[in-house]
Amino acid sequence: MKIALVGIGKIARDQHVPALAASPDWELAATVSRAGSVDGVPAFTDFAAMLAQRPDIGAVSLCLPPQPRYPYAELALKAGRHVMLEKPPGQTLAEVHALERLAAEQGVTLYATWHSRMAEAVAPAKAWLRDKTITRAHITWREDVRKWHPGQDWVFEPGGMGVFDPGINALSILTEILPAPVHVTQADLEFPANRDTPIAARIAFCGNVTADFDWRQEGPQTWDIEIDTDAGPCALRFGGNRFQVAGQDIAGEQTIMGEYPRLYARMAELVRAGASEVDLAPMVHVADALTLGKRHVTDAFHF
């Protein structure tokens, strides 16, 4: 099946292009970019022109930041194309609900991806936790924004979600593996004096679940979820890629290279089945943390 990539930026180059090159399901048949291209692939600068000129391309994968993404998704769905959305699937929940309705009306697939759910050890962790009672869980998601989002001012602009841009990856795992849902009860958010989105967040959920997101961590980076259960402690580490029970490795590997190939395999399954997959649970937690969050102003941030 032919697919077009829209927005040839960091994640498109790091993950989507290699995943598509190795995919048995997909052929990267066009790019749409204001300035970039991929060697050997027809390049368009205008999205509407690509849709009009390439009726053979049945699917588009949108790798734009969340703020400009909605009009692209709407145009593609109205043109009868299947659509795959990078995470977070939009800048608001209502936008994504609208896309979900439109995809259903048009009879095409909408896939709101959560790449961290495809991490190697998430499924084994979910299976192990299925029959356990959770007594405590804590997420530590601390990374260096300068390393992972160099110069990307959109993350600090309204709709960019700030530290929830990586934090939503942790929440996508949490909402996948917990045997029963939780909801946010309290949040403390640190906003740099010169920015519109938080650089750090501490969140409490019902059920003794807490989260610590921070974008100012230099040196070793931490993407851990530690969970205490009635059968003892377990932990998902390295962004869902290693699963430990009582400190012993049970499953996983220390690489993220399998996540995007699995997303494209899932997209192919959905298209073949005539189905959509849009789970907004991780984004509900972000919206609730921003609604309930107490605002603290901290040092100005410059890249």
Edge-to-edge strands, sheet with 59-62: 43-44, 27-32, 2-6, 59-62, 82-85, 110-112
d(CA 193, CA 216): 15
Question: For residue 246, with 0-12 CB atoms within 10 Å meaning exposed, 13-18 middle and 19 or more buried, which class applies?
Answer: exposed
Residue 228 burial (C-beta neighbours within 10 Å; 0-12, 13-18, 19+): middle
Please say if 87 is a catalytic residue.
yes
Which residue of the set 78, 87, 132, 294 is catalytic?
87
CB of 124 to ligand NAP, least distance (A): 22
The H or E element that residue 127 is part of is helix 122-129
Footprint on residues 15-54 left by ligand NAP (CB under 6 A): 33-36
| Residue 197 within binding range of ligand NAP, rule CB under 6 A | no
Minimum separation from the CB atom of position 4 to ligand NAP (A):
12
Shorter beta-carbon distance to ligand NAP: residue 137 or 143: 143
Check residue 124 for interaction with ligand NAP (CB under 6 A).
Answer: no
Compute how many residues bind ligand NAP; rule: CB under 6 A.
Answer: 22
Task: Tell which one of 50, 83, 86, 99 touches ligand NAP (CB under 6 A).
Answer: 86
- Closest distance of CB 206 from ligand NAP, Å: 27
CB of 202 to ligand NAP, least distance (A): 21
Cis peptide bond upstream of 88, omega within 30? yes
Binding residues for ligand NAP (CB under 6 A): 7-12, 33-36, 63-66, 68, 86-87, 115, 148-149, 152, 165
- The residues annotated as belonging to the active site are 87
